[in-house]
Structures are given as C-alpha cells and as structure tokens.
Amino acid sequence: MNLDKMMDLPGALAAFTYSDKGELQSHVLREGTELTPQVLDLLARSCVANQAIASMEARGWEAVTGQTGFQPLKGFSVVGLEWSVVVNGNCGVVVRNRDVDYEASFKAVQAG
Amino acid sequence: MHIVKQLMSIPGVIAAGEYAYRGDRFSYEGALTDEFARMASILCRGNTLSVNMQSEIFDSFAENCGCRPVQGWIVRGDQITVCAVGNYFSFIENRDELLNDVMTIMRAKVGDVQDDLLVNLYAKLGGDTKEALY
C-alpha cells in the first residue's frame, strides 16, 4: 500500500488504511489540513460500514432486478461540502472537491 | 435544460431521476421500470440520510472539518456506478471520464446542498413542510 503515491492524486488531503473492523492502521495527512487522525479513524469505521451496506444493496439489487454489473463492488465515496472520501477494500483517500478526479481516485484505491 | 434530461443526453448514462423525502415520489428517465425506479429512489434516500447522519457525528469530533452537509455519494460497481447528489440519482456505465463528467454536471446543476436536508427533500412533496416534519 503506497500512501505517498495516493497523496499524489489531485487535491489529496489524506490517505489511509484500516483494518476489516475499521481501525485506522496507517495514514498520511497533508500539512495544514483540518483533518486529524481521530477524524480519519471515525471515517475509516464509517467506510467499512458503508462498503458493507453498498455490497448488500448491490447483491440485492442484482437478485431482485436481474440487472448485472454492480458486483463485485469497486469502491464507495461520500461527497462532503469541501472534500470527498474515496475508499475500496482497506484503503482510502480524502480529496478536495475543487480538484477531485473521481476516476483516478477510484483507480488508486483499487490498486491499493 | 433540466438536470435529468441533460444527464440522459450523455452516452453511457443508463438512467437518471429525482426523488423526494419518503422515496415514494419520484421521476426518472432511462432504462428502469417504474418499480425499479421506486426501489432506486428508496435506496438512494436511505443512503443519503445515512451518510448525513454520519457527517453529523464527524462534525461532533471536528467542527467545520469540511464534510457537512454531505452533498452526495457514489457506489462504484464492477461495470455500473450509482451517483447521488442532493435528491438526484444516476446510474452510469463505467466508461473513461464519464464519472467525472456526470459528477461535475450534477454538482453544478444541483448546487450546494444546504444544512437542512430533510426540509429540502420533504419540500418536494408540497404542502407545509415545517408542519409535516415538526
């Protein structure tokens, strides 16, 4: 997992990894950001929960509608007022909205 | 041009729509049945309220940390991505640059979602929003 590489994404404010339970394991913060390790820890826990919910919804949606293409899940993002968090598996990146490249961010966390 | 029509004019956008507070008032265009659009609206409304609740918890840890109010969310599937901004949603194919284009349009057209999400969503139903909610 190369967090420094993820910090090269446009507008990256933080990159982090977490356990399957959502415990923050490693992180890099951009100097001057308002984000803290405590916020990242909480963010990581919400990311685990959101990925689990999205995975359940994808599975259910495919079963009920017969539409395919949702599984396996390749990531989840929450778009906040000033930044977005993009996660997949056990890693995530926080990117400033005015600079964000969602596709590059999803590719980066998928590679992670 | 209305946001849903504008989104549907982009190649690779499968369906787009708008939903209201309860998820049972909706409009849409594209490759969904009425029943699937109803289900999508309820699902989007549920996820939207959930991430908003989470952002309020973040805010209690670090006030004005930049996440609140939540503007939307994205689920990246294997071949299809679901995007929600405010009370609009879209189902799109995973094509190069399409996600960035769709998110740019949705954010620009919907504008910044204000603090009171419930009031915004419920207002789509009409009537006295405050009386109905509080």
Q: Beta-carbon neighbour count of residue B118 at 10 Å?
A: 13
Asked if B60 is an interface residue toward chain A (Cβ–Cβ < 8 A), one would say no
Alpha carbon distances (Å) from B105 to A39, B2, B64: 29, 11, 26
pLDDT tens digits, one per residue of B4-37:
999 999 999 999 999 876 656 788 999 999 999 9
- The answer on pLDDT for B127 being more than 70 is no
pLDDT at position B132: 60
Size of interface A-B (CB pairs under 8 A): 122
- The answer on pLDDT for B101 being more than 60 is yes
- Would you call B74 and A76 a contact, using CB atoms and an 8 Å cutoff? yes
Q: Which pLDDT band holds residue B100 (cuts at 50, 70, 90)?
A: very high
pLDDT at position B61: 82
- The answer on pLDDT for B126 being more than 70 is no
Residues of A whose CB is below 8 A from B94: 74
Asked if B69 is an interface residue toward chain A (Cβ–Cβ < 8 A), one would say yes
- Would you call B74 and A79 a contact, using CB atoms and an 8 Å cutoff? yes
pLDDT at position A76: 98
Asked if B115 is an interface residue toward chain A (Cβ–Cβ < 8 A), one would say no
* Mean pLDDT taken over chain B: 87
Q: Which pLDDT band holds residue B77 (cuts at 50, 70, 90)?
A: very high
pLDDT at position B24: 66
- How many angstroms away from the CA of A4 is the closest CA of chain B? 22
pLDDT at position B133: 57
Domain positions in chain B: 3-129
Residues of B whose CB is below 8 A from A54: 47, 75
Residues of A whose CB is below 8 A from B103: 79, 102
User: pTM of this prediction?
Assistant: 0.92
- Burial of residue A11 (CB within 10 Å: 0-12, 13-18, 19+) is middle
pLDDT tens digits, one per residue of A91-108:
999 999 999 999 999 999
Q: How far apart are CA B115 and CA B69, in angstroms?
A: 5
Q: Which pLDDT band holds residue B129 (cuts at 50, 70, 90)?
A: low
Among chain B residues, the shortest Cα distance to A52 is held by: B75
Out of 3.40.190.10, 3.65.10.10, 3.40.1130.10, 3.30.450.30, select the CATH number for domain B3-129: 3.30.450.30
Least confident of A14-23, A84-93, B31-40: B31-40
Q: Which pLDDT band holds residue B130 (cuts at 50, 70, 90)?
A: low
ipTM, two decimals: 0.96
Q: Domains, chain A, ranges and CATH?
A: 3-111 (3.30.450.30)
